[in-house]
Amino acid sequence: MDRRVTWLPFGLSRYSGKQVVGGGLIVIVLALLPYLDSNSSHISAVADAGYILLLAFGLNIIVGYTGLLALGFAAFFAIGAYTYAFVASPQFGLHWSFWIMLVVSAAVAAAFGVILGAPTLRLRGDYLAIVTLGFGEIVPQLFQNLDKWTGGPDGIAAVDQPTLFGYNFGFNPTPYYYLYFVVICICLLLLTNLRYSRLGRTWMAIREDELAAEHMGINTTTAKLLAFSMGAAFAGIAGVIYAAKLSTISPSGFDFNMSIMILAAIVLGGMGNLSGVLLGGGIIAMLNFLILPQASNWAHALGTKLNVAFLMSVDLTQYRFMLYGIILVLVMLFRPEGLLPSATVRAELHDAGKTPEAA
Amino acid sequence: MFELHNCAPQFVQQLINGVALGGLYALIALGYTMVYGIIELINFAHGDVYTLGSFISLSILGLIPLASISNPTVLALIAVAVIILAALLCGIVGVLIERLAYRRLRNAPRLAPLITAIGVSLILENIMQIWKGNSEVSFPQFLPDNWHQIGSVRFDDRSLLVVVVSVVCMILLNLFVFRTKLGKAMRATAQDRDAAQLMGINVNSTIAWTFFIGSALAGVAGFISGMYYGTTFFLNGYQAGLKAFTAAVLGGIGNITGAMLGGFVIGIVETMTSGCISDQWSEVAVFAILILTLVFRPSGLLGQQLPEKV
């Protein structure tokens, strides 16, 4: 079973039989999920995992593949969401098509990726982290302050919901679930191929040793810019679907916490490895949307039974960032390659302890 | 939305407010710059150690029956004692953070400790949230507060306190770093860790001391921010930390004098933006400075251009 399935199209032939069968089973179960679980709040939570995953894919290109630490990634998510909301809401009286905007917003976010990246990518790793963090702070602030156009802190309401062949998605989570499902499947195929393409290998060469990569004749600036813009494009797509599903957006949804949540997802799962990113994104999303709200309810029930006031009123979702913080620290200290690492990253991180000065 | 007020009449007033705020940022910036200088780590948790300083001060003050004391000398002594205690406790927290979260990763790729630093920051914020709750906590204003007027400019003892305490701390720090043996060890470790070790310097303890001093200064800043603003909040350290980091970058990261200069510049820019445009643009202005400095002069105002280590 460990042999590769050479007859599969779209680059899936890179995977072994086991992986293809396992992945296929997961895809089938997920495709049938709305029929297996009729609770629409569950479906909504699983659908929301979609934008976490898309953001994690994008950040993984920048941090996992290319090794650039970008901390303000939510800014691109915000740009995607606002781009759609501007042209598909009563805000300016425009109602452009969701499907076209899916592509346009991705392009707009990618353009901002280039605008941010072009002057900053020559900075060293941690300076880059700070510049992107500053960018991530400024973008939601601008959306908040430019209230003539953006609706200020209240944001934009009544964002158009998508329509497909005359069917309006409305507030029913199931169509959004399938939309995310299809988009994520397409992205996965794209990313699998990208990872092994010339560009993907270039990115990894830069991650391993930028100086050496440059000396091998790689144009590192172009490759890094491409990583930035492609990563941003994923965030742009996520932003459009997010805005459409929620039908309202405000600047507070795109703050530093969002960037951290995505970073925690890819760190936990395993930077640079797609299955790791899927796992990490899935875990973080489920914690965020299903497990913590559910655990709060259990705590309330337990508190009522035991008559403990603290448990009766505790809101565990408030403390989710404690959990993300613990995840970041523990994973980095004890399993820096994440739960499902790529072989290269694992070798690199475990080798590093032996060299005295890995600057 | 974006209109310039005529801010000339209050120019000097804003300048004075800016200096007070800048003193605060400078104190926090020192911790960032010292730690970065010695282990090239952006200690994300530093801003939260600053908030922790104000929370610790608040708890100590809660133990003292302040209302029954009216003698100003005794009150001033209490203030000094609280500052020292807060500094000590924050220093210890800083050392613990270094020991538990950063030391193991000293030779790992640079991203690793940066990510744990973010994690530690989140953990500290949540501990403080559980400790004092989700809303702003008021800070007892126990020192007598007099307003002084020079011409049309007014300032009170609180601003004076911030400026005096921060300047005193900076002078002490400068004496420490440039006149003592441990200070010399720090500078040597910052220059070349391996060579310092070969010269018989205990690198681990030197780094621990750096964290202790940086965090102690953040603790002092925590106390005086409580006195200055009259409130504290578990998330304060995030924004204040970013602004102080901007100050450190602007001054030239790793450079102690630069951090002080940067702190005052950022403080003045922030109050000027608030005064001349509006409050909501001050953050944008500060972060724009951060990005512009890093893009056009990454070595900062006083830093030297260092070649990247390979």
Mean pLDDT computed over B34-60? 91
The answer to whether the Cα torsion of B37, B39, B42, B45 is positive or negative is: negative
pLDDT 10s digits, A259-268: 988 998 998 8
Q: Write out the H or E segment, with its range, that includes residue A326.
A: helix A320-334
pLDDT of A2 strictly over 60: no
Contact B110 A126 (CB under 8 A): yes
Calpha distance A132→B52 (Å, rounded): 26
Q: Compute the mean pLDDT over every residue in chain B, rounded to the nearest whole number.
A: 87
* Distance in Å, alpha carbon of A340 to nearest chain B alpha carbon: 17
* Distance in Å, alpha carbon of A38 to nearest chain B alpha carbon: 35
Out of A2-11, A129-138, A168-177, B56-65, least confident range? A2-11
pLDDT of B35 strictly over 50: yes
Q: Please list every residue in chain A whose beta carbon sits closer than 8 Å to the beta carbon of residue B249.
A: 127, 130
Beta-carbon pairs below 8 A across chains A and B = 145
B94, amino acid identity: G
Q: Please list every residue in chain B whose beta carbon sits closer than 8 Å to the beta carbon of residue A69.
A: 111, 114-115
Q: Compute the mean pLDDT over every residue in chain A, rounded to the nearest whole number.
A: 84
Q: Please list every residue in chain B whose beta carbon sits closer than 8 Å to the beta carbon of residue A359.
A: 40, 110, 309-310
For chain A, say whether B280 makes contact (Cβ under 8 Å): yes
pLDDT 10s digits, A152-169: 888 888 888 888 887 878
pLDDT of A49 strictly over 80: yes
Task: Tell me which residues of chain B, numbers 193 to 212, contact chain A at a CB-CB cutoff of 8 Å.
Answer: 193-194
| Chosen from B105, B110, B118 to mutate, greatest number of chain A CBs within 10 A | B118
Q: Please list every residue in chain B whose beta carbon sits closer than 8 Å to the beta carbon of residue A152.
A: none
Calpha distance B250→A124 (Å, rounded): 16
Going by pLDDT thresholds of 50, 70 and 90, the confidence category of residue A312 is confident
| Chosen from B242, B287, B309 to mutate, greatest number of chain A CBs within 10 A | B287
Going by pLDDT thresholds of 50, 70 and 90, the confidence category of residue A134 is confident
Mean pLDDT computed over A197-214? 90
Contact A325 B295 (CB under 8 A): no
| Chosen from A124, A127, A144, A332 to mutate, greatest number of chain B CBs within 10 A | A332
Q: Please list every residue in chain B whose beta carbon sits closer than 8 Å to the beta carbon of residue A313.
A: none
Task: Tell me which residues of chain B, numbers 112 to 171, contact chain A at a CB-CB cutoff of 8 Å.
Answer: 112-116, 118-123, 125-127, 129-130, 134
Mean pLDDT computed over A23-39? 81
Q: What is the pLDDT of residue B75?
A: 86
Calpha distance B87→B253 (Å, rounded): 23
Contact A267 B116 (CB under 8 A): no
Contact A126 B114 (CB under 8 A): yes
pLDDT of B86 strictly over 90: yes
DSSP state of A319: G
Going by pLDDT thresholds of 50, 70 and 90, the confidence category of residue B310 is very low
Mean pLDDT computed over B283-302? 84
Out of A108-112, A147-151, B75-79, B123-127, least confident range? A147-151
* Distance in Å, alpha carbon of A145 to nearest chain B alpha carbon: 7
Q: Kindly report the three-state secondary structure assignment for every residue of chain B.
A: CCCCCCCCCCHHHHHHHHHHHHHHHHHHHHHHHHHHHHHCCCCCCHHHHHHHHHHHHHHHHHHCCHHHCCCHHHHHHHHHHHHHHHHHHHHHHHHHHHHHHHHHHCCCCCHHHHHHHHHHHHHHHHHHHHHHCCCCEECCCCCCCCEEEECCEEEEHHHHHHHHHHHHHHHHHHHHHHHCHHHHHHHHHHHCHHHHHHCCCCHHHHHHHHHHHHHHHHHHHHHHHHHHHCEECCCHHHHHHHHHHHHHHHHCCCCHHHHHHHHHHHHHHHHHHHHHCCHHHHHHHHHHHHHHHHHHCCCCCCCCCCCCCC
Q: Residue with structure tokens 């690793």?
A: B112
Mean pLDDT computed over B293-305? 77
pLDDT 10s digits, B130-181: 888 888 888 888 877 788 887 777 788 888 888 888 889 888 998 998 899 9
* Nearest by CB: B115 against A147, A267, A358: A267
Calpha distance B310→B303 (Å, rounded): 20
Q: What is the pLDDT of residue A3?
A: 65
* Nearest by CB: B290 against A134, A147, A260: A134
Contact B134 A318 (CB under 8 A): yes
Q: Please list every residue in chain A whose beta carbon sits closer than 8 Å to the beta carbon of residue B309.
A: 357, 359
pLDDT 10s digits, B276-288: 888 788 888 888 8
Q: Please list every residue in chain A whose beta carbon sits closer than 8 Å to the beta carbon of residue B120.
A: 325, 329
Q: Please list every residue in chain A whose beta carbon sits closer than 8 Å to the beta carbon of residue B288.
A: 134, 138
A24, amino acid identity: G
Q: Which residue of B has its CA nearest to A63?
A: B111
Q: Please list every residue in chain B whose beta carbon sits closer than 8 Å to the beta carbon of residue A119.
A: 295
pLDDT of A358 strictly over 70: no
Contact B110 A144 (CB under 8 A): no
| Chosen from B43, B102, B116 to mutate, greatest number of chain A CBs within 10 A | B116
Q: What is the pLDDT of residue B276?
A: 80
Q: Please list every residue in chain B whose beta carbon sits closer than 8 Å to the beta carbon of residue A142.
A: 284
Out of A32-36, A273-277, B96-100, least confident range? A32-36
Out of A100-104, A114-118, A316-320, B207-211, least confident range? A316-320
* Distance in Å, alpha carbon of B67 to nearest chain A alpha carbon: 32
* Nearest by CB: B108 against A260, A326, A353: A353
**Short-list B261, B130, B115, B152, CA closest to A316:** B130
Percent of chain B with pLDDT over 90: 36
Q: What is the DSSP string of A292-303?
A: HHHHHHHHHHHH
Contact B294 A324 (CB under 8 A): no
Mean pLDDT computed over B6-33? 85
